[in-house]
Amino acid sequence: MSETEEKMKHLDEMTCLLYLERQLDRARGLEVSLHTQECENCRTLLRALERESRLLTRAMFEDNEPLPSRLAQFQQAAERSMQWIWGLAFGLAATGVYALYTQYIEPWQAQLQEAGFSGTNLLGLLIFQSPFWKGWQSMITVLEILAVATLGGLGVMFLRRRIRRGSALALVFASLCAALLAPAPASATEFRKGDRITIVKDEVVHSDLYVAGGQIRIAGTIEGDLVVAGGDVEVSGHVMGDMLSASGQVRMTGQVEGSIRGYAGNITLKGKVGRNVMTFGGDVNIDHDAVIAGSVTTGSGRLSLDGHVARDLLAFAGQSNISGDIGGSVKIRGGELNIDSSADIRGPVDFEGEKQPQVSSQAKLASPVHFVKHTRGPNYANPHYYVWQVIWMAGFILYGLVLYSLMPKFSQEAVKSAEQYGASAGLGVLVLFGVPIAACIACITVVGLFIGISTLFVWYAALYFAQIIVGTVVGQWLMGRTGELWPTVGRMAVGVVIVRVCTTIPDVGGWVKFVAILWGIGAISLAIFRRFQPVPATGVMIPPGAQPLPPTTTVGGPLPA
């Protein structure tokens, strides 16, 4: 027999492997067995493959790496984390109550005050007055650190998937340290606090000034920004920068060359403002003597504008009275609008409210007021309503599609978290109410505006994402669970349609939407939280436990003789 003929008779490697692994049928197995009894070459190959299998198994088992410390402590960390979440849930519930109180009860209290009952602004009382007030200075520092820590956390979250964990942590913490150790800006900042703070008329502060106190009087000159928080604030001096305020009552009779921003229970402007005004409060009065070179944006219970505004007015107010002059356009949304005879508005006026605006015939307007009657609840008789519902549904599904494509794993984690109803709902209350409050507070700190506004944007986007997560859960209830991406997207689409349909039900729809947002945003927060768990620990390394799983002892049967 020639060498070639002999080679043709040898078993191929595939057959030998399948024989060793007992994957051949009985007849073929017998053939192989008989062949190898006669063929030295194939017997050697079988033996080599068998040894290769053993070598592989041995190699995989013999290196007993100890369990990394973070895995060793994983279980304990997970248990601790859940306890923490429930603590947070209680905190969140308290925050939610506080938010409801300030949103609904506080305005009633203000109205009672106007009616002659004694009292004071709740926020001012809680935050800016007496005993609590003394801790405000340190609170600013705490808020700054929290804001920087939040940024750091976000940095870790994004970086950990791109670079190795150690380097990500090192990079983020190095950046944080650099940020915290960075020298203060060249323009120094002056802090003053006390029950009564007064900057007398001739006094000049050559820097930014942070003032905190019960009663604050600024009659001098501030060459930088003025950041003020107090119960009763009066600025009759000259502020060359911006003025930021969070106070119970504010009167500005002097001059602010920059912008005025802030919250106040009652704010009265009588002086000059070089740029814009953005205020939120119970009452906003822009007096006859006030001159604002920029625009006015306000959200208030009552707005009275008798002064001069060079540019636009944007207002969300329960009641608006305009008797001054406005150089630009006017957009107001609220309950009532009165335009007096002395008013002079050189741009278009748009008003969306519950009542027809009262416009004096002697008022000077560039064009008639464009009025849109605000109706509570959807107009079911209008076909456009249904068209828009369909468009919204499509928009939601598209948004969900984008999110699932960009963050498939995170989205699925959020869906899983949503199945923990209690924790999701509890955390949802905290995040839904707590985050915007924290963001607004952050806006008035030094680190402030950027972080606050960014947080609000993320929070707002999360409100929509929350409905997508809930939609996915609903879809899974109907169509069963799946771990694959595209089937999950299909369930999301079905669920979102159902959720959106439910939100259109009269009377109940609003509550459905509220619950969906609460639940979904809690699930998202829970998923984010879990992304940070467990933290790398420096604890004791535990040796691997007793081997619970069997090594592959052998594959295939005994070698043929």
Partner 1 sequence: MSAPGISEPTEAIARARAGDAEAWGQLYREYAPAIFRFCRRAMPTREDAEDATMEIFMKLKNKLSQYDTTRSFSAWLYKVAANHCWDILRRRKIRQDKETEDVESVPLEHPEPSQLEKLIEQRSGEEVRKALEKMGARARMALVMRYYSDMSYDEIADALGVRRAFVGVVLLRARHELRQALEGNTAVAAGGAS
Enumerate binding residues for partner 1 (CB under 8 A): 7, 10-15, 17-18, 21, 23, 41-42, 44-45, 47-49, 51-53, 55-65, 67-68, 70-71, 74-75, 78-79, 164-165, 408-409, 416, 419, 483, 530, 534, 542, 544-552, 555
Q: How far is the CB of 314 from partner 1 (least distance, A)?
A: 46
Peptide linkage before 534 cis (omega within 30 of 0): yes
Pick the closer one to partner 1 by CB: 11 or 443: 11
Residues 6+ apart with CB under 8 A from 75: none
Pick the closer one to partner 1 by CB: 67 or 219: 67
Pick the closer one to partner 1 by CB: 540 or 546: 546
Q: How far is the CB of 530 from partner 1 (least distance, A)?
A: 8
Pick the closer one to partner 1 by CB: 54 or 193: 54
Q: Which phi and psi (to 5°) does residue 526 adopt?
A: -65, -40
Q: How far is the CB of 71 from partner 1 (least distance, A)?
A: 6
Pick the closer one to partner 1 by CB: 65 or 507: 65
Residues 6+ apart with CB under 8 A from 209: 189, 190, 192, 199, 222, 224, 225, 226, 227
Cβ-contact 306, 289 below 8 angstroms: no
Pick the closer one to partner 1 by CB: 164 or 346: 164
Cβ-contact 541, 68 below 8 angstroms: yes
Q: Which of 417, 436, 437 is nearest to 427 (CA)?
A: 417
How far apart, in whole angstroms, are the C-alpha atoms of residue 35 and residue 128?
95
Q: How far is the CB of 463 from partner 1 (least distance, A)?
A: 26
Q: How far is the CB of 277 from partner 1 (least distance, A)?
A: 51
Rg (CA), the chain: 35
Q: In one letter, which amino acid is 286?
A: I
The pairs formed by 203-209 with CB atoms below 8 angstroms and a separation of 24 or more are 208/241
Q: How far is the CB of 9 from partner 1 (least distance, A)?
A: 10
Q: How far is the CB of 531 from partner 1 (least distance, A)?
A: 11
How far apart, in whole angstroms, are the C-alpha atoms of residue 269 and residue 208?
21
Cα 288 → chain centroid: 41
Beta-bridged to residue 251, according to DSSP, are 234, 268
